[in-house]
């Protein structure tokens, strides 16, 4: 893991970026901006300080024979792409087929949040969410769909506001069964 620079060095870097943009980092409206940016980065990238496997470590093994899908849909995603450090914002839907254990549903939301609070591509984030749930819960299969709008396309570059990106990851029985994929997509409101 990379060693984090001291806060003073980060604030100095932000001051440099403000000057590079063409403004005076010492003017009234900007003089406290470096500190605010550092605080925002700490919040936006808090996922680096959290372990998703640890979040999923407390499971419930008394499932009374339940073996069908557990689905959480419309989980808020607020992330930043690693290419421009521009936000991408959308929703995630996650399902898993329990084998002999389930996890508190808020833990699934927390896992999505942990991975979204890191720099990566949407494709990588989608795979990371599915893989950690699959591994930590020893599922029979996991399905993840993320639908997000990327600010690097809306506020710069091609300037297209109405384009969203959909990524999916299917493991286990979801990967091998088109019927399960279709059922998952139908239940979350996506066409198969």
- Out of 50, 84, 173, 190, which one is annotated catalytic? 84
- φ/ψ bin of 124: left (φ > 0), alpha (ψ from -120 to 50), beta (otherwise): alpha
Catalytic residue among 83, 123, 160, 178: 83
Of 11, 93, 120, 122, the active-site residue reads: 122
User: Does the active-site annotation cover 122?
Assistant: yes
- Helix residue ranges, H only, the chain: 7-21, 33-44, 52-55, 105-116, 122-137, 151-154, 172-176, 178-187
Contact 165, 89 (CB under 8 A): no
Catalytic position from the list 50, 78, 152, 173: 152
Whole-angstrom distance, CA of residue 180 vs CA of residue 73: 16
Report the b/e string of 63-78 with b at 16+ CB within 10 A. eeeeeebbbbeebebe
Asked if 83 is an active-site residue, the reply is: yes
Residue 101 contacts residue 61 (beta carbons within 8 Å): yes
Q: Which of these is catalytic: 54, 82, 123, 160?
A: 82
Asked about 82 being catalytic, the answer comes back as: yes
Pick the catalytic residue: 93, 120, 128, 150? 150
Residue 125 phi, psi (nearest 5): -60, -45
Of 11, 80, 81, 93, which residue is the catalytic one? 81
Catalytic residues, by residue number, are: 81-84, 122, 150, 152
């Amino acid at each position: 893991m990379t060693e984090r620079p001291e806060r003073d060095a980060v604030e100095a870097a932000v001051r440099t970026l403000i000057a590079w943009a063409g403004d005076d980092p010492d003017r009234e409206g900007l003089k406290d901006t470096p500190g605010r940016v550092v605080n925002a980065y700490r919040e936006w990238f808090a996922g680096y300080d959290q372990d998703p496997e640890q979040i999923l470590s407390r499971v419930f093994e008394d499932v009374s024979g339940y073996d069908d899908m557990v689905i959480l849909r419309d989980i808020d995603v607020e992330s930043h792409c690693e290419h421009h450090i521009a936000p991408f914002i959308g929703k995630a839907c996650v399902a898993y087929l329990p084998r002999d254990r389930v996890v508190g549903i808020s833990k699934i939301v927390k896992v999505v949040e942990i991975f979204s609070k890191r720099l990566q591509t949407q494709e990588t984030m989608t795979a990371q969410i599915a893989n950690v749930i699959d591994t930590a819960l020893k599922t029979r299969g996991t399905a993840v769909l993320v639908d997000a709008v990327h600010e690097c396309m809306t506020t710069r570059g091609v300037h297209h506001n109405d384009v969203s990106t959909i990524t999916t990851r299917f493991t286990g029985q979801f990967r091998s069964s088109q019927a399960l994929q279709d059922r998952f997509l139908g239940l979350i409101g996506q066409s198969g």
